[in-house]
Amino acid sequence: MNPAGEVNPSSDFWRGRRVLLTGHTGFKGGWLALWLSRLGAQVTGIALAPDTSPALYDLAAIAGRLHDSHFCDIRDYATLETLIRQANPEVVFHLAAQPLVRASYADPLTTFSTNVQGTANVLEALRKVDSVKVCVAVTTDKVYRNIETFYPYRESDPLGGHDPYSASKAASELVISCYRESFLSAKGVALASARAGNVIGGGDWAADRLLPDAVRAWGKAEPLLIRRPDSVRPWQHVLEPLAGYLRLAESMWSQPSLAGAYNFGPPTDSAATVRNVVELARAAFGVGEVSWGTEDAGPHEAGLLTLDVSKARYDLAVTSQWTLEESVSRTMNWYRRLGEGIEAATLCAEDIVDYENAMAGSSG
């Protein structure tokens, strides 16, 4: 539980809190920036400029909601260290990354340098800042050595990674563990890694992402091309893991012993195939043609992945609030309403309020 004994992220905890957020120009980072702003945090963002057009960062005018926003490559240590020292953060969320599997095949060196050395740069800079007390470093559910069985991976299972993205994130987990054990724990900094399942939600325009691809295709009355319809993933709305990150940071503030690795995802039995998600999306969108591919289309991607999320449930009281059906429906509705002229910031705020209400209801 958080320090106030509440289930929702505590505005009492976050109000005025100096927060450093890397990756605030991305999809998940943008949503987290908006939520932290709503909670009253003093947020400094560090990230590359948005790499999609449109971008949630621009549409929701996120820069104007933050204390400060900087465009900086986390591989540039000198600049990064200066910006972090100036921010003087108390809490850090490290989300900046090269986040795409297929892009990692096209450019493995950028993927490794960003996800491994970039993470080391962030943690090294934090080692030199006395203000920081908590850091949540976000990796992925793909850090595990995936043997493609229905076994749900636990935080203690071996790390691995077939593709460059997964391998780079597994390597970043070793960097995180090293800095926690060698440096930050002794400084009184609680450092955790967060391994989240596949996220969906409005405001994502990245290439090779299932629902953004569907919106793009169906919006132009074109068929959606699906590479691997029977792949299984732990799908969840973007607010689900973000709620977990916020809860984790609040909990470690008062209980530094909670530092470590955490899975965040839906209940294990809620994992679903790509085909299931596409059919839900098509029903929510109203129309949409689909061209189903074969399992061997394109470079290797894991066919089956599920997570054991019992640690987050028992240690942090983190539970999923929205079913897969509701998450997909909300996502497609977000894009539809954006097309009707509703502002992106308004759409995000509505979802955040609804999610907070769901959490409040489940704890009552």
Domain ranges of the chain: 18-363
Give 10-78 as a DSSP string: -HHHHTT-EEEEETTTSHHHHHHHHHHHHTT-EEEEEEPPP-SSS-HHHHTTGGGGSSEEEE--TT-HH
Q: Is the pLDDT of residue 244 over 80?
A: yes
State residue 304's pLDDT score: 83
pLDDT above 90 for 313: yes
Q: Assign domain 18-363 to its CATH superfamily.
A: NAD(P)-binding Rossmann-like Domain (3.40.50.720)
Determine the average pLDDT of the residues in 91-113: 96
pLDDT of residue 3: 41
pLDDT tens per residue across span 317-331: 999 999 999 999 999
- Grade residue 4 by pLDDT with cuts at 50, 70 and 90: very low
pTM of the model: 0.95
Cα–Cα nearest to 61, from 356, 255, 267, 346: 346
Report pLDDT digits (tens) over 7-52: 579 999 999 999 999 999 999 999 999 999 999 999 999 999 999 9
At residue 305 the predicted structure's pLDDT band, cuts being 50, 70 and 90, is: confident
pLDDT over threshold 90, residue 5: no
Of 141, 240, 253, whose CA–CA distance to 193 is shortest? 141
Lowest mean pLDDT among 38-42, 145-149, 158-162: 145-149
Confidence of residue 268 (pLDDT cuts 50, 70, 90): confident
